[in-house]
Amino acid sequence: MVRTTNFEQNNFSDNLKFIDKNAYDHLKKSKVYPNDIIMNKIANAGACYIMPNINEKVSLGMNLFLIRLNTKKADPYYVFSYLKFNEHYVKSFASGSSTKTITKDDVRQLKIHLPTLDKQRSIAETLRTWDTAIEKTEALISAKERQFGWLRSELINKCQGEKFSLQALEEKGLIEMGRGNIISKKDILANPGDNPIYSSSVKNNGLFGCYGNFMFDEELITWSIDGGGNFFLRKKHKFSVTNVCGFMKVARKAINCGFLAAQLQERQSKLKFDYQFKAHPSVIRKIYNVVIPSIKEQKNIAEILDTAQQEITILKNLSTQYRTQKRGLMQKLLSGEWQLNPKEENHEKR
């Protein structure tokens, strides 16, 4: 049985819920086939997905409905792409006060730009080419991130040196710990600018917003206090941190900032913080123990990890560019502003 959880970030995951054959045979009207379009009825009403080709007999889960097209008149991937690109328009048909719901009758009212079948197929093929590039890039990112995790673990856990708690390092004057300031929307509006503000979220690298002021213009470590306690290495630039974000400065002659950040990230990956057990400075001072090898070894490890991280960053930027370019292309093709010659449908994008 297919559910919305099978479509995570638009990539199909095969963690299907299994039902017995009799139940499947009974659900004749709910059988799902490759290239069927599936739409949410309630949760995130109007969001749609397209069923891939998998080696399973699949039925439809609750709170979903099918859109099965006459493939002699409409290309499923073209229609899916059109609905996905115009998702805001589709969702506008959902109704309800507390919980939005969309019905098949609502969907029947949708109007889409439908060129000839040949042109639909040309557009669909072009968009699939971009999707393939995005999928391959994101698969490579996932593989690189797994490799990075293994590399960090190997380098950090095998290094030798004296062990200290963060509190001991602070008492020795080797690190300085604190937390940021309250930064309100009023402050941001009063001081427009491009300097990042980092907060407690671990999403989007912890970015909260931007404004004209800044607290720091140096390399240091920040961490999420109210969230998961994640650590971030902040390279030198002008930025600020909020009161739910901690910061850590290091004595550079004895400690490499990148090395310490990597070690704390490795230690944090084995712990669990939440919104009840928060990573306050008073907490992490006591629970984190770190090994401090020679400054030369610290720098070597930091440089290796930095090089690996730069590769991942380049790939993430490439994926973002692909998505932006694809969206611009969809705007032109799906509106009919740009026309494709069906004979050129297999040309590679450049």
The 3-state DSSP class for residue 301 equals helix
What local confidence, expressed as pLDDT, does residue 15 receive?
A: 52
What does the alpha-carbon distance between residue 215 and residue 194 come to, in Å, rounded to a whole number?
Answer: 13
Q: Is the pLDDT of residue 17 over 80?
A: no
- Please tell me whether residues 232 and 84 are part of one structural domain: no
Average pLDDT, the chain: 87
Residue span of the structural domain in which 271 resides:
161-292
Q: Which two tokens mark 325?
A: 């370019």
**Which residue would you say has higher pLDDT here, 71 or 337?**
71
Residue whose structure tokens are 């290495």:
233
243-271 pLDDT per residue, tens: 999 999 999 999 999 999 999 999 998 88
Query: Domain total for the chain?
Result: 3
CB-CB neighbours of 19 under 10 Å: 14
- Whether residues 174 and 276 share a domain: the answer is yes
pLDDT of residue 244: 92
Return the percent helix, strand and coil in the chain, to nearest 5: 45, 20, 35
Are 255 and 216 found together in one domain?
A: yes
Residues 302 and 285 in one domain: no
Do 127 and 178 belong to one domain?
Answer: no
82 and 230 inside one domain: no
* Confidence bin at 346 (pLDDT 50/70/90): very low
- Higher pLDDT residue, 18 or 323? 323
The answer to whether residues 178 and 229 belong to one domain is: yes
What are the C-alpha distances in Å from 76 to residues 36, 87, 135?
7, 16, 19
| Nearest C-alpha neighbor of 227 from the set 209, 248, 242 | 242
Instruction: Examine the domain organization and report whether 241 and 187 are in the same domain.
Output: yes
Residue corresponding to tokens 């998961």: 228
Q: Which residue has the higher pLDDT, 335 or 180?
A: 180
**Domain shared by 23 and 100, yes or no:** yes
Identify the CATH number of the domain in which residue 306 sits.
1.10.287
148-201 pLDDT tens trace: 999 999 999 999 999 999 999 999 999 999 999 999 999 999 999 999 999 988
pLDDT confidence of residue 279: 86
Q: How far apart are CA 145 and CA 66, in angstroms?
A: 36
pLDDT of 121 over the 50 cut: yes
Query: What is the structure's pLDDT at 96?
Result: 85
Per-residue DSSP letter, 192: -
136 and 71 belong to one structural domain: no
Which residue in the block uniquely carries the two structure tokens 């494709």? 340
**Structure confidence by residue, pLDDT tens digits, 78-113:** 999 999 999 999 999 988 877 889 988 888 888 988
User: What does the alpha-carbon distance between residue 293 and residue 299 come to, in Å, rounded to a whole number?
Assistant: 10
Helix H or strand E segment including 291: strand 289-292
Residues 122 and 37 in one domain: no
Residues 280, 171 within the same domain = yes
CATH of the domain at 62: 3.90.220.20
Express each pLDDT in 204-215 by its tens digit. 889 999 999 999
Of the candidates 243, 274, 292, which is a domain's last residue? 292
| Strand ranges in 180-282 using DSSP code E only, listed in sequence order | 195-198, 207-211, 216-217, 220-224, 231-234, 238-241, 245-250
Q: Given strand 245-250, what is the order of strands in its sheet?
A: 175-179, 245-250, 220-224, 231-234
